[in-house]
Amino acid sequence: MSPSALKSMNVFNSNLNRLREISPSLAENLATLESSSEYSIDSSKGGCPTLKWNSASGRSLFLHSRYNPAQEAERFIDTLDVKGASNFIVFGLGLGYHLIELIKKAPSHSKFFIVESRPEILKLALEGDHFSQVLNTPHIRWLVGRNVGNLNEALSDWRDDFTLNGFTPVYNQSLTQVDPDFYAEQELQLTNTISTSQVEHNTRRVLSKFLCQNCFKNFKQARMSPGIEVLKSTLQGEAVMVIAAGPSLDKNIPLIRGAQERCHILAVSTALKPLREAGIEPDFVVAIDPKPVSATAFDDPGSLKKTRLIFHPCIPENVTNLFPKCSFSVDAELYLWKFLTRGFQPKGQLGNNTSVAHTAFNLALHLGCDPVILVGQDLSFQSDRSHCSGAYHGESLQQNIGTNQTARGLNHRKRRGTTSAVQISHDIFGNAITTSQALDSFRFPFEKIKQTGTRVINATEGGVSLSGIENSTLKEILSELPLETEQNIPGIKSPEMNLDSPLESMVEFTSRIEEQSVKFKTFTKMIQNWLAENAPATSETDSELKTTRNTLSSQVRAGETLLNDIIKDNDTVQLLQEFLYSEFLDWNRETYQIALMKKDEGQLEKKLQRNVALFSAMEKAMQWFSTEFNNLRKTT
């Protein structure tokens, strides 16, 4: 072996060992990867290595400059706004020159996610001395190869950071031209992931306090109701129609009325009123929305004789009161619910609760129904409407109709607010339809759900097409279903209250909430002391008390110490983060922006203001929790 080849092998082994520390499985794959003649390293005119692609047709193409790859990479990175962000997704690795330049110019706390379709290219990159700079960079992750998972899964715990604080895609056309379809697919997955995550965060921002408030109010009712576990497989092999409140429901109401002798009816809460007005009583109605306005979907349910309520513990309290002996509870993912129900009999879960339609679909699968027919799942606009007539979304508009305001005009104005996110999709017939980024993101959970032999049909005429799911008109699919002489729901005709908590569990429950109340009282006092001593001056008359830089630094350190003390107690921080979801997001975003600032640009002042805002919210939240715990002790 020549000296140069020996040096290359030594460099490769050294870099491979470092990669083992970062990503053991990737390193092992590269160690056993056979050499390929498709890619090779040449020397550029400047002396440093460059990468050449040798196609099957005999054509060769340099993926880096033949003259000075490092200089080429520097010019490329200079075209990006590197200093304005600290999260990066790099599509296409090559020999890593542009990645090295990116690392040099990015903030020190940056995260780098590398996507490369060909593992043999990474293996060649490991032969270069320069690549050790990449491997010694903290916060770097890899997605290498076309069959090793997807970007969605690999982002994992970085997803929230990339969603909330943004990221810069680094897409090098020269390096991705070998596998354009692969990189296009990864970009699409990234867009879907971030879009879904953004919807989830925005939803929780709005609903976090409602969720906790309703959880306390519904605790007794939810604990006493039977759980959905008793419903598992009770409708095995029976057809069900899962009805959402999209605008196409208006068209299909007559068909649904005639379908009750052919299949079960499972409705989302927003579709309940339109169905009842058409004389249709569903077998089940699913409610998960915590907003007070969602209760209007259940106005005057007295005529309902057979409908069972499937409810999330965080819906408005007055809804559960309407179904005292015919409701089934699910377990909430909410930490507060888990905290309150430790030691109690589980109720069961229905998976992703991104929307009530997803929960209803999961219930159909839980019941064992087959086939499952989706109706009213438009996820699109029809004449500027996103919901059918009679849904409470539409009623809120009807109340605002005046002599100069038509329903159509109000719908148009409402939709106009989403214009920047509007996009074109296609319905089940291939026709172009209008949707929005938020609405479109709701199709992903349907498309991700893996069926185990269950037949799922999308019979939403005019709604978005769902990838991998059978399409049909409602009339066609109903004609296939046999008439049933008797509709029966085995084992759940008369659900009874189910106070299944033994005395020991209740004693433990009381002790747990009393202990947490004491913790809240202690932390509240600590926060009050910190706020009294460290709150910044807020008026001109305080100018003589202007804080010095050393004092600011001391105040910030004291705040960090207090926050660390709170974080050490798992129950306390989890409950607070859940209730103060928006406030913690703001704190994290502010921390991200402060990290991008130079030290002499007011970092300390910003940190102090950030801490004051969070601690003030924490103080009020802990006092609220203590009051709710006290009320709970009195009523359970």
pLDDT tens, 524-580?
A: 999 999 999 876 655 444 444 455 767 888 888 999 999 999 999 999 999 999 999
Q: Which two tokens stand for residue 487?
A: 């509709």
> What residue spans of 266-329 are helical by DSSP H?
272-277, 317-321
Mean of pLDDT values over 145-157:
75
Domain final position from 178, 199, 220: 178
Q: How far apart (Å, rounded) are the C-alpha atoms in residues 469 and 456?
A: 6
449 and 322 share one domain: yes
**Helix H or strand E encompassing 103:** helix 97-105
Query: Does 307 fall in a domain?
Result: yes
The percent of residues above 90 in pLDDT, for the chain, comes to 39
Q: Which two tokens stand for residue 506?
A: 């209740």
Match 């982002």 to its residue by tokens: 155
Which of 321-335, 379-393, 566-580 has the lowest average pLDDT? 379-393
Which of 263-267, 327-331, 451-455 has the lowest average pLDDT? 451-455
In sequence order, what are the residues at sequence separation of 6 or more whose Cβ sits closer than 8 angstroms to the Cβ of residue 260? 280, 487
Domain total in the chain: 3
User: How confident is the model over 353-371, as pLDDT tens digits?
Assistant: 667 888 999 999 999 999 9
Reduced to 3 states (helix: H, G, I; strand: E, B; else coil), residue 278 is coil
User: How confident is the model over 461-505, as pLDDT tens digits?
Assistant: 766 666 667 888 888 888 888 876 454 444 344 455 454 556 667
Query: Does 327 fall in a domain?
Result: yes
Q: Which two tokens stand for residue 526?
A: 């600590």
Which of 84, 122, 333, 324 lies closest to 224, judged by CA? 324
Domain that holds residue 529: 503-538+546-635
Q: How many CA atoms lie within 13 A of 290 on its CB side?
A: 23
User: How confident is the model over 283-301, as pLDDT tens digits?
Assistant: 999 999 898 888 888 876 5
Match 């309150």 to its residue by tokens: 340
Task: Answer whether residue 205 shows pLDDT above 90.
Answer: no
298 and 349 share one domain: yes
227 and 118 share one domain: no
465 and 571 share one domain: no
- Can you give the pTM of this predicted structure? 0.72
509 and 471 share one domain: no
238 and 115 share one domain: no
Average pLDDT, the chain: 81
* Better pLDDT: 467 or 126: 126
Q: How far apart (Å, rounded) are the C-alpha atoms in residues 557 and 515?
A: 28
237 and 344 share one domain: yes
154 and 235 share one domain: no
| pLDDT band, very low/low/confident/very high, at 400 (cuts 50, 70, 90) | very low
Match 């339809």 to its residue by tokens: 433
Geometric angle at alpha carbon 17, from 11 and 19, rounded to 5°: 100
Q: What are phi and psi of 308, to 5 degrees?
A: -100, 135
Reduced to 3 states (helix: H, G, I; strand: E, B; else coil), residue 621 is helix
In sequence order, what are the residues at sequence separation of 6 or more whose Cβ sits closer than 8 angstroms to the Cβ of residue 147? none
Which of 66-70, 411-415, 471-475, 551-555 has the lowest average pLDDT? 411-415
Tell me the chain's radius of gyration from C-alpha atoms.
Answer: 29
